[in-house]
């Protein structure tokens, strides 16, 4: 073997091993993150964490009950606002859309999907906060709903398009009207994918922080959703994590652990649902 050939072989082995290293590094990152969060946050998880509102620094026994509740309320509101709109828009794009208008809606939805969430926050601020003159859970929920709409629309459309045309024709040939065909055949055939898209979308907005900073804001206590600033879990993580108190840091890690577990659980569950197959079902 010539020197050049040996060099080429060595190079090949080295480079390919490097790629393996890259892959291992990338994958292990996930576990590093999880591990560190659990390691640091575990000690702060106790009954108080889930039931108590924050106490001033120095006092023990505080918790994040208001943040947890606030997140639930705001994500729920955002889901109610965003999911139906996105779902219906997705149905339009898949089943009724003409050429130009549908293309325009698709382009706009993709555009909205690519817009940084903080810009959506500015929009929600300008529409709600500016006129109500206060932060509110409702404003934050509105922002989250706005983020959810294009995600849901595109994923609904995507999964409904995978339903074969022959299924639609079969239903129509039996005398079903268009909307009945959509409701009783197409949507049920695609429901796994649609549900997955929805779960992933909701998990995504549950982790959003930036648009909430100046819409729903911070609150040390439980609040009324409609007209008071409402703390959310991601925002609590941000505020506690950047504060100068050690105890609050641990709370931030605990909250991070809770949030991450919820988000990952939703993601894994959704992917498992999807992988079980889309059309073959009872």
Partner 1 sequence: MATSATLRAHPGPGARSFFSRLATGDEIARLLTLAFASLILLLTVALVWQLWINSAPARHKFGLSFLVSSDWDPVNGQFGSLPFIYGTVITSALALLIAVPLGVGAAIFLAELAPPKTSSIFTFFIELLAAVPSVIYGLLAIFTLVPLMRDHVEPFLKTTLGFLPFFKGTILGVGYLTAGMILALMTLPFIISISREALLEVPTEQREAALALGATRWESTWQAVLPWARLGIFGSIFLGLARALGETMAVTMVIGNGTAISASLFAPGYTIASVIANEFAEATGDLYPSALVALGLVLFLLTIVINALARLLIIATARQGSSHP
Partner 2 sequence: MTMGTANQPLPSPTSSKPVGPPAKLRAIDLNFYYGTYKALHNISLEVPTNQITALIGPSGCGKSTFLRTLNRISETIRNTRVEGQVLLDDEDVLQVDVTLLRRRVGMVFQKSNPFPKSIFDNVAYGLKVNGFRGSLAEAVEHSLKRAALWEEVKDKLQKSAYALSGGQQQRLCIARALAVDPEVLLLDEPCSALDPIATAKIEDLLFTLKDQCTIVIVTHNMQQAARVADRTGFFLLGKLIEYNTTEIIFKTPTKQETEDYITGRFG
Cα–Cα nearest to 119, from 215, 16, 219: 215
CB of 162 to partner 2, least distance (A): 12
Q: Which is nearer to partner 1, 80 or 268 (CB)?
A: 268
Cα–Cα nearest to 231, from 72, 49, 32: 72
In the list 237, 248, 251, 278, the residue contacting partner 1 (rule: CB under 8 A) is 237
CB of 19 to partner 1, least distance (A): 4
Residue 30: partners with Cβ closer than 8 Å, 6 or more residues away = none
188 binds partner 2 (CB under 8 A): yes
Judged by DSSP in three states, 185 sits in helix
189 binds partner 2 (CB under 8 A): yes
Residue 41: partners with Cβ closer than 8 Å, 6 or more residues away = 250, 252, 253, 254, 255, 256, 257
Partner whose footprint covers residue 279, from partner 2, partner 1, none (CB < 5 to 8 Å by kind): partner 2
240 binds partner 2 (CB under 8 A): no
Structure tokens at 253: 């890690």
Residue 28: partners with Cβ closer than 8 Å, 6 or more residues away = none
The alpha carbon torsion through 112, 115, 117, 118 (nearest 10 deg) reads: -130
Partner whose footprint covers residue 50, from partner 2, partner 1, none (CB < 5 to 8 Å by kind): none
CB of 70 to partner 1, least distance (A): 15
282 binds partner 2 (CB under 8 A): yes
- What residues from 123 to 182 belong to the interface with partner 2 (CB under 8 A)? 164-177, 180
Rounded to whole angstroms, how far apart are CA atoms 281 and 240? 47
- What residues from 260 to 279 belong to the interface with partner 1 (CB under 8 A)? 260, 263-264, 267-268, 271
Binding residues for partner 2 (CB under 8 A): 164-177, 180, 184-185, 188-189, 279-282
């Amino acid at each position: 073997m010539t020197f050049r050939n040996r060099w080429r072989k060595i190079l090949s082995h080295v480079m390919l091993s490097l790629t393996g290293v890259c892959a291992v590094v990338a994958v292990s990152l996930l576990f590093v993150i999880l591990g560190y969060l659990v390691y640091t946050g575990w000690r702060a998880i106790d009954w108080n964490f889930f039931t108590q509102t924050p106490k001033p620094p120095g006092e023990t026994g505080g918790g994040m009950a208001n943040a947890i509740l606030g997140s639930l309320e705001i994500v729920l509101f955002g889901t109610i606002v965003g999911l139906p709109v996105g779902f219906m828009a997705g149905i339009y794009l898949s089943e009724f859309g003409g050429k130009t208008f549908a293309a325009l809606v698709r382009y706009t939805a993709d555009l909205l999907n690519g817009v940084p969430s903080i810009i959506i926050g500015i929009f929600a601020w300008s529409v709600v906060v500016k006129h109500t003159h206060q932060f509110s859970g409702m404003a934050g929920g509105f922002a989250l709903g706005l983020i959810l709409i294009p995600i849901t629309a595109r994923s609904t459309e995507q999964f409904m398009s995978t339903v074969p045309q022959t299924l639609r024709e079969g239903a129509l040939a039996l005398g079903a009207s268009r909307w009945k065909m959509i409701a009783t055949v197409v949507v049920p055939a695609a429901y796994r994918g649609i549900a997955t898209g929805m779960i992933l979308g909701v998990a995504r907005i549950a982790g959003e922080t930036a648009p909430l900073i100046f819409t729903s804001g911070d609150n040390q206590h439980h609040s009324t959703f409609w007209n008071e600033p409402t703390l959310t879990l991601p925002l609590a993580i941000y505020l506690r994590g950047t504060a100068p108190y050690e105890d609050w840091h641990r709370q931030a890690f605990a909250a991070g652990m809770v949030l991450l577990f919820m988000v990952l659980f939703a993601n894994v569950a959704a992917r498992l649902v999807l992988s079980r197959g889309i059309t073959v079902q009872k």
